[in-house]
Amino acid sequence: MKTVFSPLHAGHADTFELVAGELVPGFEKPSRAEFIRARVESEKLGDILPPQEHDLSAARKVHASDYIDFLSTVWSQWQAAGHTGPAALPYVWPTRGLRADRRPRAIEAQLGYYSFDAGAPFVKGTWEAVKSSCDVALTAAGLVNTGERAAFALCRPPGHHAGSAFMGGYCYINNAAVAAQWFRDHGAARVSVLDIDYHHGNGTQEIFYSRADVQVLNLHADPMAEYPFFLGHADEHGSGAGQGCNHNYPMPAGTAWDEWSLALEDACAKIGACRPDVVVVSLGVDTFEKDPISRFRLKSSDYPLIGKRIRKLGLPVLFVMEGGYAVEEIGINAVGVLTGFEG
């Protein structure tokens, strides 16, 4: 299997996030991608290719155009405003009772207008990394569309929390959603997105919620207890034409392979029934027992079994990297899924 990877991810570095009332170094850091890339090499998964540059038209098909314009100018606006803090972060949001129909000019207000949490910090190299991550997904999608059985988009930053017009949870452009839409625009009648990150892929769900042509399945921690909290319940099945095309599998803290694999089995049955032309896997490995921010109990030996089950679908697959923060093992687990797929 070929991997697509961009060194530009490394410019998105030295970020901060709020944990338990303290501003701490971001868990989503460059070494994550480097550990995965090193494991792709040592396991001889296949060639590692740079991304081809794409314009932003594919991203604008799943994101509001003004949101993409915002992302591309945050850092220059932040600097023009004279802010000297280490990272641009929002601190105010237009929640219930406030006006979301007017977008203020001030960059600190726009950061809140276009986000649902303070989990998507901007530094100098963030936009270049975000753009390259999207290019990685599109380039890998191209490989699958030209006949590869599967490809690995080693995206960083991740994407599945980013919705049509908001960032959050380390995510800016929803790489998996952009790729799914790209497949639709390049010959696929139906696409399934299977999201196995520990956290619910709220952005992907929001983007495709009313559509019948993109099925979305999410295996994740119960939002009653876990981030992103405000989406991801089992009764969210889609709306309008998309009714019945969204499937959530919320699971409690402590979930291990025995129960998790039952959800995977059910999701795979639903993918089979949908008969998509291609499957996009949002590949998060923060389900790992030693993940520092998560509470599932998958073991390294479980990850190849995930890949093996996905292969059994008999469909072309684009793997898109999402979360996973146990930096030492993240390469073993992510590449474990891929080698399990290869068999």
CA 337 → CA 79, 281, 309, 313, 334, distances in Å? 41, 11, 10, 14, 5
Kindly state whether residue 203 participates in binding ligand SP5, applying the rule CB under 6 A: no
Catalytic residue from among 12, 161, 199, 220: 161
* CB nearer ligand SP5, residue 145 or residue 248: 248
* CB nearer ligand SP5, residue 113 or residue 227: 227
Q: Which two tokens stand for residue 146?
A: 């030209």
Kindly state whether residue 286 participates in binding Zn ion, applying the rule CB under 5 A: yes
Give the one residue of 293, 305, 313, 327 binding ligand SP5; rule: CB under 6 A: 293
**CA 266 centroid distance within chain:** 21
* CB nearer Zn ion, residue 158 or residue 276: 158
Active-site annotation holds for 200: no
Site string for Zn ion, 5-44 (x = CB under 5 A): ----------------------------------------
| DSSP letter, residue 218 | E
| Site stretch for ligand SP5 (CB under 6 A), options 44-52, 128-136, 168-176, 177-185 | 168-176
| DSSP letter, residue 240 | G
Kindly state whether residue 286 participates in binding ligand SP5, applying the rule CB under 6 A: yes
| DSSP letter, residue 27 | S
Give the one residue of 19, 81, 189, 269 binding ligand SP5; rule: CB under 6 A: 19
Site for ligand SP5 in 210-229 (CB under 6 A): 227
Kindly state whether residue 119 participates in binding ligand SP5, applying the rule CB under 6 A: yes
For residues 313 and 305, give the distance between their C-alpha atoms in angstroms, rounded to a whole number: 13
Contacts of residue 79, Cβ cutoff 8 Å, sequence gap at least 6: none
Q: Which amino acid is at 106?
A: A
Contact between residue 81 and residue 59 where contact means Cβ atoms under 8 Å apart: no
Query: What sign results for the dihedral spanned by CA atoms 203, 273, 145, 195?
Result: positive
Site for Zn ion in 143-202 (CB under 5 A): 197-199
Q: Which two tokens stand for residue 249?
A: 């599998």
Contact between residue 269 and residue 261 where contact means Cβ atoms under 8 Å apart: no
Task: Using CB positions, name the residue nearest to ligand SP5.
Answer: 323
Interface with Zn ion (CB under 5 A): 197-199, 284, 286, 323
Active site members: 161
Name the site residues for ligand SP5 (rule: CB under 6 A): 19, 119, 158, 161, 169-171, 197, 199, 227, 284, 286, 293, 322-323
